[in-house]
Amino acid sequence: MNDGLKAEPRDGRERQGSSPGSAGGPSRGAPFERFVPDLLEHGGPRSGEPQTLGRRLFVQLQVFTGCLDPTPAIDAVRESGLEAVVYANLNDPRGVGVLLLTEEPAVLAEAGRELLLAPALAALTPLPDFAMLGRTYGSGREVDLEDFILRKARRHALNPAHVWAIWYPLRRAGAFNRLDPGEQGRIMGEHAMIGRGYGEAGYAADIRLECHGLDRDDNEFVLGILGTDLHPLSKLIKDMRSTRQTSEFMQAMGPFFVGRAVYQAPCPESVLASGDGGY
């Protein structure tokens, strides 16, 4: 019985353009490929086997002003039971930021929304220009994909030692997407080596998120740079300005939110016990 389903090609695409019964002969027009969506995250091979994962973490930052005393906001976030961080906005003495982390985006729309509409936060003035939302993703090179996708961001954001954070969105120029994959890899490798150097020295940790279609201003990524001191975070961003990615292929960056953590939800032991804790 033909149920209309076809086996998906191994490379995620299916050749089209041949008329039925033509034994592969071309039909009118040039052949094209039917796109088959791939909704899995991919990591590097592990024990010779590919790593894939159908889960991911969503991270949202909401920023407010008009906060003369952060205590009520901290209490509301703590009582919500959500995995969250409250930041004091360094560039606004009346400003706070609330970072939420969850696997389920519905949590942001339900429990997260309930929290943000609670009296302690509803009394504040939201700053939509600083709102950021993204999801963790695999680059195809992760040694431990599940840890990277589901635990690394939580481990870094909820680490009591990471009292400083710089969060910002960015968008690459379209020309980057037209480069050969090998050239893209070399450009990203140059960029990554700087970050890895800071991470291995214990100066910074990062949270990298994709935000395609999730960002009001059509940005593509959200980055969080976290650490025990603010200066290395700023210096890391400066050092990356000279890379080809930033100097040639960056279309937009910012706005930048600079925060000092005044509350961090407890990090589960299972999250703390896994991963290498690096950049």
Per-domain boundaries in the chain: 53-269
Largest CA distance in the chain: 74
Q: Which amino acid is at 116?
A: L
Token pair listed for 177: 């997407």
pLDDT of the residue at 18: 37
CATH node for 53-269: 3.30.70.1030
**Residue 86 Cα to chain centre, angstroms:** 18
pLDDT at 274: 65
Residues 6+ away with beta carbon under 8 Å from 134 = 58, 59, 209, 210, 211, 214, 215, 221, 222
Reported as half-sphere exposure (CB side, CA atoms, 13 A), residue 15 has a value of: 10
Q: pLDDT of 31-58, one tens digit each?
A: 778 999 999 999 999 999 999 999 999 9
CB atoms inside a 10 Å sphere around CB 58: 21
Quick one: CA dihedral 106, 160, 222, 189, positive or negative?
negative
Per-residue pLDDT tens over the stretch 85-115: 999 999 999 999 999 999 999 999 999 999 9
Question: What residue ranges in the chain does DSSP mark as E strands?
Answer: 13-16, 32-35, 41-46, 49-53, 58-65, 84-89, 96-102, 125-126, 132-135, 164-172, 205-210, 221-227, 250-253, 257-264
Q: Which residues of the chain have pLDDT under 50?
A: 1-27, 277-278
Quick one: pLDDT at residue 29? 53
